[in-house]
Homo-oligomer: A and B are copies of this chain.
């Protein structure tokens, strides 16, 4: 399994996502296609494909898992942008900003539904995969709800990490978890989840360092504000050190997974370390 294999399969993932969201001719399908066309990192598709290929799953099952996970992630982006009033996504207006709130609700719903239709194509373990995916989606939704409720009023680093982990960990772990389940290796799901959650925390903290000013204005949950409320002398440095500690723990956790799995995260963890180093400079 090489990077070329993954790059070769990504167009099939895009085709599946589009096919499942454009069965009904109408304006919404054009908007959703436009959203997919705008791209994105497709980290979750890459994680599913690399895990699927490393575990010996067929290409069609790997593509179905990748498509399902990306559809779930994109559904959550579209609804989160609306809830958080984020006007930009991928250097363009977010769906609600460009087409209105009603369209964004419908667009996210369509992607969420399509995700399960994608997973239904994932071979003999499809039912187990769908049941597992719903459990993780429920965690993410509860995390998003808690995040919206907490907003800028959080003075508890553990509560912050619980919400941040619930909000982004499950959908980042899911591609690896589903590939493990499809390959009959369900006992490794917990290790995948641990690794992905630690990565998600570090990533969120880096994001919070970059967005501290913006989040303070909007009253959004942000690690820098939490560490400031806790009385840290240098809250930015304290967040940076915490993020580095989570990355180190991530690297240990990732080693518990079979070879070739979560490599996309391992590479990105190095980039985050680098970016966190740069945060030593005054912002």
Q: A residues near B, CB below 8 A? A: 20-21, 23-29, 75, 79, 82-83, 101-103, 105-106, 108-110, 112-114, 116-117, 120-121, 126-127, 130-131, 134-135, 137-139, 141-142, 144-146, 148-149
Q: Is the interface of A mostly helix, strand, loop or mixed?
A: helix
Whether B116 contacts A130 by the Cβ 8 Å rule is yes
Q: Which residues of B contact A114 (CB under 8 A)?
A: 134, 138
CA distance in complex: A139, B26 (Å): 10
Whether A23 contacts B135 by the Cβ 8 Å rule is yes
Q: Which residues of B contact A20 (CB under 8 A)?
A: 134
Q: Which residues of B contact A25 (CB under 8 A)?
A: 142
CA distance in complex: A126, B27 (Å): 30
Chain multiplicity (copies):
2
Q: Which residues of B contact A126 (CB under 8 A)?
A: 126-127
Chain B min CB distance to A70 (Å): 16
Q: Which of B101, B106, B116, B148 contacts A141 (CB 8 A)?
A: B106
Q: Which residue of B lies closest to A123 (CB)?
A: B127
CA distance in complex: A224, B101 (Å): 27
Chain B min CB distance to A216 (Å): 20
CA distance in complex: A142, B106 (Å): 8
Whether B145 contacts A106 by the Cβ 8 Å rule is yes
Q: Which residue of B lies closest to A20 (CB)?
A: B134
Q: Which residues of B contact A139 (CB under 8 A)?
A: 24
Q: Which residue of B lies closest to A75 (CB)?
A: B109
